[in-house]
Amino acid sequence: GGDREPSRDEIQEVELLATSSGPAIENARRFREARQLADIDALTELHNRRFFQETLEREVARAQRYDRPLALMVLDLDDFKAINDRTGHLGGDAVLAQAAERVREVVRSADIACRIGGDEFAVILPESTRTEAEQLYSRLQRAVSSQSVPDVGRLFLSAGIAELRRGDDATSIFTRADAALYRAKNAGKNQVDAQDGLGDGFRRFDA
């Protein structure tokens, strides 16, 4: 009644199964890794623009369906063109990578941080309001500006925030957040515009 030795046929069956399924498992792992790499911006290790667009569409649809809050913040480094001109392309890349590292350290686990352009970033904040997005901006600005960069000095961020409204899709909420970013930059940089078309919402960051 003890455990019997497997027969030669049974051993061959297991070996055949392992041989045939092994490549499939390996291929699945490689596909997963390739897909993950395809979603990541190589320089900053943040999610890339394609991932941002897909995720924003999905999160907006989910929030609309279940009537949940959602905020979007679009931000960029102030005076990045001047930094690039002064330090060269490689120096500019190093500054971007350093800023992105601070972003990765500060965002909450549920937040989705992406690089969507040259020096432009976006953070999708599920289950969050404009106020919570403003609080995140303050933490990001504090983290990014806390260290001086050689030949550059301190870095500062400007940001625009939009909160999901009934009837919004991914394009409309992004358009409002992006417009808010440009208002913040035109108003003097180093600040966030969270008014979202609803009145005074400028907050200047004072380090």
Half-sphere exposure of 1 (CA within 13 A, CB side): 0
Q: Quote the DSSP letter at residue 151.
A: T
**What is the enclosing helix (H) or strand (E) of 157?**
strand 157-163
Query: Which tokens is 17 given?
Result: 């199964």
Q: Would you say 40 and 48 are in contact if contact means Cβ atoms under 8 Å apart?
A: yes
Which residues, at least 6 apart from 93, have a Cβ–Cβ distance to it below 8 Å? 43
Q: Would you say 51 and 59 are in contact if contact means Cβ atoms under 8 Å apart?
A: no
Catalytically annotated residue among 76, 78, 119, 196: 119
93 given a catalytic annotation? no
CA dihedral (143, 146, 150, 151) positive or negative = positive
Which residues, at least 6 apart from 194, have a Cβ–Cβ distance to it below 8 Å? 130, 133, 134, 137, 160, 161, 180, 201, 202, 203
Residues annotated as catalytic (active site), given as ranges: 119
